[in-house]
Structure 1
Amino acid sequence: MLGVAGVGKTRLALQLAHEQLSLGTFQDAVRFVSLDTLNDARQLPSRLIGDLGLTQRANTDPLEQLTTFIAKRRMLLVLDNFEGLVEGSSLLSQLLRVCPNLKVLVTTRERLRLEEEHVFPIEGLPYPGGRAADGPLADAVQLFKERAQQAHPHFDLERELAAVLDICRLVEGLPLGIELAASWVRLMPCTEIASEIRRSLEFLSSTTRNVPERHRSLEAAFEASWGRLSPQEQEGLRGLSVFRGGFTRAAASTMAGATIPLLASLVDRSLLRVSPSGRYDRHPLLYQFTREKLAEHPEEQAGAQGKHAAFYLSLAEEAAPQLRGREQVRWFGRLSEELDNFREALRVLETKGDAETALRLATTLGHLWSTRGHYAEGYSYLTRFLPEVARPSVTAAKASLLAADLAWVQGDHKTAQTLLEQSLTSAKELNEKSLWSRSLGALGRIAQLNRGDPEGARSLYEAALERAGEVGDKEASATSLRSLGGLHSEGANYRQARLCYEASASLAAELGDDHSRAKALVSLATVLTYLGESAQAHVLNEQCLELFRAVGDAHGAGIALLNLGVDASEQGDLEGSTERYRQSLELFRGLGDKRMVSHLLNNVAGVLQKCGDLPQAQELLEESLAIQRTVGDVSLVAHALNTLASVYDDQGRPGEAFRCYQECLELCRETNDTWALMRVLEASARWHLGRDNYGAAQTLLAEAVALAHASGDRKTLAKALEARAMLEAAAGEGARAVHLSAYAERLRQTLGFARLPRYQHDYEETLARARERLGEKRFKDAWAHGQVLTLEEAVRMCRAFAETPTARTPPKDTVAP
């Protein structure tokens, strides 16, 4: 759609998109993409990826990712305000060549000059020709009336009709021209507005030789506004043109010397708009007009851009400590409002070749990039500027650390490792112990989660804590304690994990950093769940979810929702669990956090298995394992294998189930992942029990009970005790089977978690066997005795059984596949 500024291309394109959506012509998607804030054609593929709901993958060419996604989909892309990106229009040719079912509708003021281009000229609204009687019903006149009454509630169309018709003819029904003209009714009568338009040049631009003199360019409307400004107002408006995405009154005053009377005048003339919050912006076309005015004064432009970059660097540096303090919610909101201005400052600094200042700004914004989920964008800035900056320097070292974090969360732990080694080397050379601590901690995370080296991770975490302590860096200490808590939790040392998380939360509270405190508490909630304190865990998760949402931390909110989904699942609320998991998965997919997407796929698969949807559960688990081939989180691999084994078992595929259990056991032992180990021991034992392989089941359960007891994981202990009761019932030991079943049931009721439907039959069969062997009275007595056992008595009972298995174990094991 080709037309002059303000002709209504956007509105028409939106209407067409809605109609196509209703008709279902494009079965896969109809997407509208506004490009008015994009001024760098190189960023177009990334913008399209984001607007299509995708997450830009690290180390992948954005155009390749885009074409792979669209491929043969029947899709309509509506690209609005393309005129600023004409030099990059060849991208559209490339898309259309490889995507046969793709259609692209572009609105622009400038032809693209492509072979594939079909031009549809767009003209203005219908306006009256010569007869005044037709005037009041014409679309252009009705638009003028609506806008005029917004500016002046007592505007009388009937009295001004002749002049309004004159104006509509002068602007040839151009919507923006009409709106601008109508805005002046507050200041002058319509006859004067018409006279002002006549005195301006090129209102409607045309190269046709026989166009009447009254046909001018759209610029005439802007020039009419501009011409009514004083030199001081013009200078102020030019200065305001460096802002992108809006600005505050304080920023306007500091950078452009804009006073309250000046801003009020510009708002009254519709050259600025003001939101209820007091933030200013303007129509994109007016924005471009004023930027062109500024470009006519190169020295003034260079000065304004320099002030703009300096102002937003100063704002970022002022905000950085506040993002970790008591006012963090407000400051996160403020920085997010200014994101387009930060991008503009970075663009200008890059254009001027000032990589050092650009890197300083991109690094200072690091907490915003990571908390608000701008992983790919932040990583792009940091890695573009890093090679241009001399090292070692504190800024470069911080940038390497931040880039590593952003690479890791996108699943690229190898690049993260390289960047962290650079950061650590620089931190040591500069003796920057806070940075040293953070680099060690991040390397520990890779050792723990990607290399399966818990001892190496422990050494790095403890060294990080020591470095932070040497300089009294409570923030870094809190982070190190969280990391150590995660390591202890993975090793099922829940009591020690709890101490670490509580200490981390305490340090964060001292700093007034509720966001960091929530990170510790949401992890503590997970540990409390394992320790059987589900009610307190639920409260913590709800509180943390609220705070994460307040600061805009989608990752933290995803963790809290994941925990709440687990809580709902264990209480048997599969619908509530599914909804929480769905919300969490949507957040992590949006962030591009592959590791957590894999985690959620595992959990959703578990719910699907409970609901009996085994094919879908298997599909999600296989997707999770495919992700882990690149991410390499051994704990999540173990989780997926354990669940996949049970799905195979439910599908009647025992051989494949056995192989998954064995692979999972080996992986857990190799990496000392006690959390996963005790769970797969219990699940694998049940597999053996189902095939009368009692000797193997007894060995596995003895280890599972010992680990669950040592770690304080009472939920896993309850499940293991129920499995042990099955073994005792099969061996003819009815009383012991009832004792263990009764104690396990008491644990379930105390902890508030439901039995898996797939295990309910085993549980009922165990009790039926015992009741038949003991009789009703002895059964009730045994149940009552089991209900009052202590934890230590129940565990000792299991140990005593394990010491004398031969007398009660059936003489023959089945052969494992």
Structure 2
Amino acid sequence: MQAARRQRPASPDRSAPRSSAIPVPATPLLGREFELAEIHRLLHDPHCRLLTLTGPGGIGKTRLALQIAHEAHADFQDGAAFISLAAVDSLEAITTTVANALGLAFHTESDLSRQLMDFLCNKRLLLVLDNLEQLVSSAGTPAMLQRVLQCAPHVKVLTTSRERLNISQEWVFEVQGLLTPPADDFDPAAYTAVDLFVQSARRARADYDLRPDDVTAVGRICRLLEGLPLGIELAAAWVRALSPRDIAREIERNFNFLAYTLRDMPERHRSLQAVFDHSWRLLDQPERQVLARLSVFRGGCTHEAAAQVTGASLLTLLSLIDKSLLRRDEQGNLAMHELIRQYAAQHLIELDGAHTVEQHAAYYANWLAGLVDDLFSARQASALAVIQRNLPNLRSAWRWAAQQPRPGWLFKMMTGFYYFNELRGYFNEGEALFQQAAGELGRHLDQADTDAPADVRLAAACLQTFGGWFTFRLGHTDQALAAWASAAPVLEAADDPAWLFFSHAFQTFAALYTGDLVTARQQAEATRRQGRRVNQLWHLGVSEAHLAVIDYLEGRTAEAYQQFQAVLEMWRPVGDPRLMTWCLGYLHTLALTLGRTDEAVSYLEAGLSYLAADDRWGKATTLNFLGQARLKQGRHAEARAALQDSLSTFAEIGDRLSVSGVQVWLGRVALTEGNLTAARHAFLAALSAAHDAQAHAPQTEALLGLAQIEAHTGQPATALAWLLPLLDHPAATRDTRERAQQLRADVQGALPPDQRAAIEDRPIDFTQLINSLLLTGT
């Protein structure tokens, strides 16, 4: 339906009513072309005799029905009649209200219903009954409508109600909110919710105009209200006193802020609180309890989750759907309008709210733990998708478990949350998630002093470890190393191989990027020991892959190639797309280095087949490998394109370490093409990113590139001066050293012996040189 609603045909003129017997709308109808067309289509269906427009209060059911009454008036021989039942509270009152609206004068006081049926029996009429929800629970109401359908075969009935009538002849059309804009850039004219806000604001303040600076805030208001027309009108009325940005903030604080002071508005529509109070009064006590308990869910839930957390039966959930307080979303999950959720949450306080919140957290802790195996396997894509849909609930459960604290529940969620955020490239979110939870546990530890439970201390150390990983991924290596060092004693004392494995694996990866291959090998060996204790193929392969990378960086390419082939066979049964893509990428690079072109191509194709469409880091890594391969093949344009795409994605997810490596390769492409200006720009950008990330290995690569440029431009002395600190740095890989030594020999031959000796006798400090280059570019 949302896709269809985006197709907005030209709107007909809806300003003039076609019947004086139907109330005249006070405002034009905005953005309901799709709904109007669908309702007209249903009313023209000979099988549809009774159509109910359902939806929560304030969604615009009455306004739609009123427009339909005007537009359909000429389609019926006896026209259309619009009858408001908002003030009606009995079956007898319905009969007299309908009769009065139709101009029927009763000739006797007995059997009024029969007289109404006799009047309608030969009519060709559209009967619009508005606000029927307070009468649905009366058995007489459905019976009366059935009598109308039976006695008057040419009468069609259109009703509006927050609750469906649940009779066999009823057809239902669910009225949804207006089309709302996305969070990023959008065209205000393309979204009907924004249209309504602007028109409503102009009624409140005649000189109001949507300024470019306000577009984002107005979009935020519309999304917070989920396109609810009444809510948008109530919000827009505040432009007399507040900016759109302030209005959005107030809505986020308390939806009770949304209220009218207009005297001609019905009492039930003067505020959203009044709208929801009316719906609440129509519920029985079990329905109220379930609705209040469902407010703990964020972003919807499955009916299984709802039943387990709230104790609701399927019949109760169905009743709340029928009453427009719940709905099924596009994935089939139960969803609640955010403002209804906030309202229900107020009533949860009156119940045993703490127990419901605890049940919610327990359910999602166990649920995520049950998905971990899928997340680390060939079923990764489906696991990621279902976690993404449930992310608001998972985050809520995580925060509660940290605040209590419940370390056992945090342990169940840690690995899943770590790998989900890693695979999605949510480095900032991952860091915040683990650091905030670590902070909560830290406060409990400070209060408990030396008597803190061991499981709380271990949970805090694990949170530090995983949080440190995302800190490292964001390029803050020193902070990450400090976090890991702080957590290590607690992890070692607990001697849990699963947590020790991740601690050593993270430190291995960091040492590889900083160029400390001695530490990298030590940590990789420790990772291998813990992986063997865990005894899972995923874990066993990680340490072997790290050792293979170290061999490659130390120049043992053939050995690394064989090791990666063994890792590939180890990981095939696991099928983790991220690891398979990464492993095949290295095999592609190693095969090219060894001159095995056909094998390299097959590895690249296999890697692409494993790559998940939404794995941004995996995609960027594969493009990086591809760019390097294309450069070695002399296909410079393809190399540059692949590397630029890789760079954009790494920059988007905040991976400064990988940004520095890709910039080095872009510099090498430009240098090969003879574009020294572009090469200098790329190498300096690589130097800056690597410096920010405290990654020394990419710095040595970038410095070598800059030295090559100096040699190309006739500055052998500068080139030699820059090569010397590079060659002495322990982070320089064997390949970097060999290429630097070759360049050193070339530039030495271009210098007089005394000048060469002067440079070599007084080498520049590596750190000072990097700082100078970043400051001046020379």
Q: CA deviation at 1:430?
A: 2.1
Residue 341, structure 1, aligned to residue 393, structure 2: yes
Match of 1:616 among 668, 673, 678: 678
Q: Following superposition of structure 1 onto structure 2, how do residues 3-152 of structure 1 map, counting pairs within 5 Å?
A: 132=20, 140-141=28-29, 146-147=34-35, 150=38
Q: CA deviation at 1:488?
A: 0.6
Partner of residue 461, structure 1: 524
Contact 2:325 2:336 in 1 (8 A): yes
Partner of residue 562, structure 1: 624
Aligned to 1:365, the other structure's residue is in SS state helix
Q: Following superposition of structure 1 onto structure 2, how do residues 360-375 of structure 1 map, counting pairs within 5 Å?
A: 361-362=413-414, 364-375=416-427
Residue 154, structure 1, aligned to residue 42, structure 2: yes
Q: Following superposition of structure 1 onto structure 2, how do residues 153-552 of structure 1 map, counting pairs within 5 Å?
A: 153-155=41-43, 176=60, 191-192=84-85, 194-195=130-131, 208=261, 216-295=270-349, 297-299=350-352, 301-349=353-401, 357=409, 361-362=413-414, 364-386=416-438, 387=442, 388=444, 390=452, 392-393=454-455, 394-450=458-514, 452-470=515-533, 472-550=535-613, 552=614
Match of 1:636 among 698, 702, 715: 698
Contact 2:29 2:63 in 1 (8 A): no
Comparing 574-583 with 597-606, greater Cα deviation is found at: 574-583
Q: CA deviation at 1:238?
A: 2.8
Q: Name the CA shift for 1:415/1:332 in 2 (closer, same or farther; >3 Å).
A: same
* 1:689-726 deviation digits (Å, cap 9, x = unpaired): 77899xx9xxxxxxxxxxxxxxxxxxxxxxxxxxxxxx
Question: Could you tell me how far apart the structure 1 residues matched to 2:359 and 2:82 are?
Answer: 40
The alignment-based identity, stated in percent, is 22
Question: Could you tell me how far apart the structure 2 residues matched to 1:179 and 1:363 are?
Answer: 50
Q: Name the CA shift for 1:576/1:447 in 2 (closer, same or farther; >3 Å).
A: closer
Contact 2:260 2:271 in 1 (8 A): no
Aligned to 1:243, the other structure's residue is in SS state coil
Partner of residue 77, structure 1: none
* 1:224-261 deviation digits (Å, cap 9, x = unpaired): 54444444444333332222122223222322345555
Question: Could you tell me how far apart the structure 1 residues matched to 2:574 and 2:588 are?
Answer: 21
Q: Name the CA shift for 1:181/1:419 in 2 (closer, same or farther; >3 Å).
A: farther
Partner of residue 760, structure 1: none
Q: Following superposition of structure 1 onto structure 2, how do residues 629-778 of structure 1 map, counting pairs within 5 Å?
A: 629-667=691-729, 670-671=730-731, 673-685=733-745, 687=747
Question: Could you tell me how far apart the structure 2 residues matched to 1:599 and 1:227 are?
Answer: 63
Q: CA deviation at 1:480?
A: 0.9
Contact 1:379 1:407 in 2 (8 A): yes
Q: CA deviation at 1:304?
A: 2.4
Q: CA deviation at 1:559?
A: 1.1
* 1:360-396 deviation digits (Å, cap 9, x = unpaired): 5345422112222222222223223332454754534
Question: Could you tell me how far apart the structure 1 residues matched to 2:597 and 2:23 are?
Answer: 72
Partner of residue 189, structure 2: none
Supply the AA of the counterpart residue of 1:577: A
Question: Could you tell me how far apart the structure 2 residues matched to 1:135 and 1:689 are?
Answer: 97
Q: CA deviation at 1:536?
A: 2.6
Q: Name the CA shift for 1:195/1:279 in 2 (closer, same or farther; >3 Å).
A: closer
Q: CA deviation at 1:147?
A: 3.4
Question: Could you tell me how far apart the structure 1 residues matched to 2:503 and 2:733 are?
Answer: 24
Contact 2:726 2:732 in 1 (8 A): no
Contact 2:660 2:698 in 1 (8 A): yes
Partner of residue 719, structure 1: none
Question: Could you tell me how far apart the structure 2 residues matched to 1:606 and 1:206 are?
Answer: 63
Aligned residues: 553
Contact 1:545 1:556 in 2 (8 A): no
Q: CA deviation at 1:622?
A: 1.3
Q: Name the CA shift for 1:379/1:144 in 2 (closer, same or farther; >3 Å).
A: closer
Question: Could you tell me how far apart the structure 2 residues matched to 1:331 and 1:183 are?
Answer: 45
Question: Could you tell me how far apart the structure 2 residues matched to 1:689 and 1:232 are?
Answer: 91
Supply the AA of the counterpart residue of 2:481: Q
Flag structure 2 segments of 5+ consecutive residues without an equivalent.
46-50, 70-80, 86-128, 136-160, 162-229, 235-257, 446-451, 757-778
Q: Name the CA shift for 1:405/1:145 in 2 (closer, same or farther; >3 Å).
A: closer
Contact 1:491 1:672 in 2 (8 A): no
Contact 1:245 1:340 in 2 (8 A): yes
CA-based RMSD of the aligned residues comes to 4.3
Question: Could you tell me how far apart the structure 1 residues matched to 2:327 and 2:611 are?
Answer: 32
Question: Could you tell me how far apart the structure 1 residues matched to 2:562 and 2:595 are?
Answer: 16
Contact 2:261 2:270 in 1 (8 A): no
Partner of residue 591, structure 1: 653
Contact 2:476 2:694 in 1 (8 A): no
Q: Name the CA shift for 1:266/1:651 in 2 (closer, same or farther; >3 Å).
A: farther
Q: CA deviation at 1:560?
A: 0.8
Contact 2:589 2:629 in 1 (8 A): no
Flag structure 1 segments of 5+ consecutive residues without an equivalent.
1-10, 16-124, 158-162, 697-817
Q: CA deviation at 1:311?
A: 1.1
Supply the AA of the counterpart residue of 1:638: T
* 1:72-92 deviation digits (Å, cap 9, x = unpaired): xxxxxxxxxxxxxxxxxxxxx
Question: Could you tell me how far apart the structure 1 residues matched to 2:326 and 2:37 are?
Answer: 18
With the length of structure 1 as denominator, give the TM-score of the two structures: 0.59
Q: CA deviation at 1:343?
A: 1.7
Q: CA deviation at 1:335?
A: 1.0
Comparing 656-665 with 262-271, greater Cα deviation is found at: 262-271
Q: CA deviation at 1:571?
A: 2.8
With the length of structure 2 as denominator, give the TM-score of the two structures: 0.62
Supply the AA of the counterpart residue of 1:288: Q
Supply the AA of the counterpart residue of 2:369: E
